[in-house]
Amino acid sequence: MTKVTIERSTEQMNPAGTPTTLPRERTDLPAEVAAAPAPILPVFAAPFSLRLADPDSSDPEMMAEWMARPHLLESWEQDWDAERRRENFRIQLAGNYSRPCILSMDFAVLGEPERGVRDIAYLEFYRAAKDEIGAFYDCDPGDIGYHIATAEAAVIGKGIMTAWMSTLTAAVFAADPNCRRIMGDPDHRNVAIARSLAKVGFHRLAEIDVRPDRRISLHAFPRTPEDLPVV
C-alpha cells in the first residue's frame, strides 16, 4: 500500500488556549475542501428524531455515562469525563468539520408508550474530505461520513438500528444535494457494524492502515453507481 502522510493538528490553539481542531481533522486541505460547510443534518421520520448535542445541557454528563458502558468503551475508547466531552462538543460546533448529534426514539414503537421519547444513540456526521480517511480515496468536498454509538440496550440486537440505518442514506442525500457518497470507517475488527453496513447497501472498499495504531474497514454508499469512489 502506498504510504500517505497526513497533516493533522491536535494542538492548534485559539487565544484562550483551547484546541480549535480535532484529532482526525486534516489541515492540509485544498481551498475547495476547506470551504465546504459543516454537514447538514438529515431529518428522520418517526419514531426517530435527531438533534445537535448541546454542550450547555446535560448531554456531556449523559455522554460520559454512555461511553463508560462496556460495549462502547471497547469500540470507541472515549472514556472521557463530562468536562472533556463538553469542550469537544464546543470545538465541533465552532468548526465546519463535524457535528455531534443525539438520536432519540419513541418507545411506543416497542409497545412501551410509558417510556416516551428517549435518547438512544450518539452520532457524528463529518466531512470525509476533511478527515484522515480523505487521504485514502478519491474524495469529494461534499462527502459525508458518520459514526454511531448505540447506548440504549433495549434497541440492540432487535433489528431496530439496522432499520434506522436503512433510512439514513436517503435522509442524508435529501438534506445535502452536494453529497455524492456517504462513508463509513469502522475498526477492521468490528464485524457487527461491517455486517450492518453491508445489509443496508454500503460497499466495502478496502482495509486501510490510516496510522500505525488504526486499521479501518472503509465503506461507501454512492448516490449513483458512478459515484462509487476508488481507493
Mode of pairing for the β-strands spanning 181-184 and 214-222? antiparallel
Q: Identify which of 124, 125, 123, 139 has the alpha carbon closest to the alpha carbon of residue 28.
A: 139
Residue 141 φ/ψ, nearest 5 degrees: -55, -30
Q: What is the CB-side half-sphere exposure of residue 31 using CA atoms within 13 A?
A: 0
Instruction: Answer yes or no: 185 catalytic.
Output: yes
Cis omega before residue 47 (within 30°)? yes
| DSSP-assigned letters across all residues of 182-217 | EEE--BTT-HHHHHHHHHTTPEEEEEEEEETTEEEE
Cα dist. 150→120, 179, 187, 206 in Å? Answer: 6, 25, 16, 25
Which is catalytic among the residues 185, 187, 209, 213? 185
Q: How far apart are CA 139 and CA 74, in angstroms?
A: 29
**Rounded distance between C-alpha atoms, residue 99 and residue 90, angstroms:** 10
Active site residues per annotation: 185
